[in-house]
Amino acid sequence: MPPPLKMEPSLHDVVELTKALIAAESITPARGAVFDVLEAALVPLGFQVERFVEGEAPDGPVENLLATRGGIGPHLAFAGHLDVVPPGEGWTAGAFTPEIRGDLLYGRGAVDMKGAIAAFAAAAARVPEATTSLLITGDEEGPATYGTPRLMERMAERGVKPDLCLVGEPTSAQRLGDTIKIGRRGSVVISIDVPGRQGHVAYPHLADNPIPRFLRALAAVDAIALDAGNDWFQASNLEIIDVHTGNTASNVIPGKASARVSIRFNDLQQGPELIERVRAAVHGHAPEAIVEGRVFGDAFLTHPGALSTLVADAIEARLGIRPELSTSGGTSDARFLVKLCPVVEFGLLNATMHKLDEAVAVADLHALADVYAGVLERVSR
């Protein structure tokens, strides 16, 4: 086995690299300094690093990073994102000033998911013989328009095709290692606009109040029966998430009533078909309504097999527990990557992601690096 490649000590340590990534503010869509930090960590490890920026406001510009390194065994890709959600007000200390207090490292992105990226870089330093790549985007927390899909296009141009993919999203629920995600539900958001004609409430014959038929249409949407779930997925759910008319006066009949519907669906459903079902339900009561939907991702499932077993074995060897295989939670960029190869997700505890005072246990960072190294060792045998 060749000796490990050397890198700057501060970036070789998983905690120090996590701190450096947190300190590089990267509210979505991200680019620039945070990618400089990661590139500085990867190049000394023998990775060929390519960075590119695409897109314009409001969804961009977005930076993506593709890092590849040859070796032995199947090609394992690690996918993640360096962009973070806005920190909000009320942090105990600065959201982008990493600080260890007690056993925890605080900072926006510590859990979701700069800590996991740092852990994989540290693991790659310890297993230099593995064929591996990092697929890192600056647009996972946003619409993903210029993120992972563009990375996949660049990979196709370069002939980069992984055999397996591990996504470092924070999947652990109660303790590190208790959950692996082998699939995710899909997501679709649908807007409903029922037009009317504005007028004075004292002269209803001169107006057209859209609200009565709007309410009947929403009741029909709410009554749509989806499914009861299956062996790997919970039941799909449809939620009315917003209702408004924009009317602030007490003596005006509004000229329009609008709503938004969000559906999280399993692999028994398809996004475009759900949009059509909602449209049909609405038009049954308000034929003139405008119904438009956007599919943010279809459901996917990587059936239990070689990849999930490999990751579970590495978790059990280091942490002494056998993880649950789950499809719960929201969407992730795995919904795109599954088109390339089998994909599973495994990362840190998700209890504080997107919250004030987001924090990761220092011990968990070291343990996650150990697990990721175990995965790389198993792949390269």
Catalytic residue numbers, as ranges:
83, 140
Rg (CA), the chain: 24
Is-contact 334 167, C-beta < 8 A?
yes
- Residue 89: count of CB within 10 angstroms of its CB: 7
DSSP state, residue 129: T
Q: Provide φ and ψ at 370, rounded to 5°.
A: -60, -45
Sheet with 359-361, strands from edge to edge, namely 99-101, 104-106, 359-361
366, burial (CB in 10 Å: exposed 0-12, middle 13-18, buried 19+): middle
- Residue 248: count of CB within 10 angstroms of its CB: 7
- Alpha carbon distance 146, 128 (integer Å): 31
| Angle, in degrees to the nearest 10, between helices 14-23 and 362-379 | 110
- Alpha carbon distance 347, 364 (integer Å): 10
- Alpha carbon distance 355, 365 (integer Å): 19
- Alpha carbon distance 314, 371 (integer Å): 6
User: What secondary structure, in 3-state letters, does 300-359 show?
Assistant: EECCCCHHHHHHHHHHHHHHCCCCEEECCCCCCCHHHHCCCCCEEECCCECCCCCCCCCE
Residue 236 exposure: Cα atoms within 13 Å on the Cβ side: 23
3-state helix, strand, coil in the chain (%, to 5): 30, 30, 40
